[in-house]
Homo-oligomer: A and B are copies of this chain.
Amino acid sequence: MKYLEAINAALEGYIAACDVPKVMREAMAYSVFAGGKRLRPRMCLSAAELAGGSMEDAMPIACALEMIHTYSLIHDDLPCMDDDDFRRGRPSNHKVYGEANALLAGDGLLSLAFETILREGQERLRTAPRYYEAALEVARGAGVSGMVAGQWADLANEENPAADADALAYIHRRKTGALITAAMVSGAVAGNADAKLIDALRCYGEHYGILFQITDDILDVVGDAKTVGKTLGKDAAQNKLTYPALYGLEEARRMAEKEAELAIAALLPFGEKAAWFTELAQAALTRTY
């Protein structure tokens, strides 16, 4: 997969460089190297490349996105949150290292994301003059107006379910969509894209984020033979607000198709250079059948 080896090597380097107790490094690495597909960093680097920037300049930001994504999964799995014993077919972080250490591993990864961004920034300013502006996009997507607000709203909705389209859209635009959109925009800005390209990549990110969530919701209902150990139907069993639950399976699939179309259309003006993004949206769609 595009960039995968380079991303994994960079993540290994950033985590190896930490001056931490051995078991803490292991706990962070356990979840960072748990078979994730590196979707967000790959989107970030691809957006930077499409803008004419270099992979090297965007790499700290790309890896920060993955660290932030990973911390959110560790905290999300904790007993006081979703209480999930498994993640990607392996025991979740707190089942292996205990709750307190999992909490700290998450805190550590979130901190390391910004430490990495800041440490690697100065030397990149010559070729990526808008590096810190790109980093701000990551912070916004990850933060209290983005992913954290989405998590919060998701929890609130479980306590007081409001089965309506507005609540669903609010939660997912933030919980998964904000960081995915941030991956696109941060890559574009790090690659010094012009306003037109930034807007197009942001538009792709927003539609891909919804597409991603709808297909994820559908897979929870219909199962996914490719995802070993996925706890089938857990969200449905918990009466969570999902796209299939609110709209029905067929309508949810139709909505996913529409989002894929809109995402792909946003990058049409950039032709072959955007081929990777077109394939990514099509691949997300085919997971649901």
Interface residues of A (CB under 8 A from B): 18-21, 23-24, 28, 71, 75, 78-81, 98-101, 103-104, 106-108, 110-112, 114-115, 118-119, 121-122, 132-133, 135-136, 139-140, 142-145, 148-149, 151-153, 155-156
Contacts and interface: CB of A to CB of B under 8 A. Distances in A.
A264 to B, nearest CB: 29
Can you tell how many copies of this chain the complex includes? 2
Given A20-B152, A149-B19, A111 B133 contact: no
B155 A104 contact: yes
A119 B78 CA distance: 31
A246 to B, nearest CB: 20
Interface residues of chain A: helix, strand, loop or mixed (majority): helix
Given A20-B149, A112-B143, A144-B112, A100 B122 contact: no
B104 A151 contact: yes
Contacts of A139: 111, 114-115, 118-119
A75 B103 contact: yes
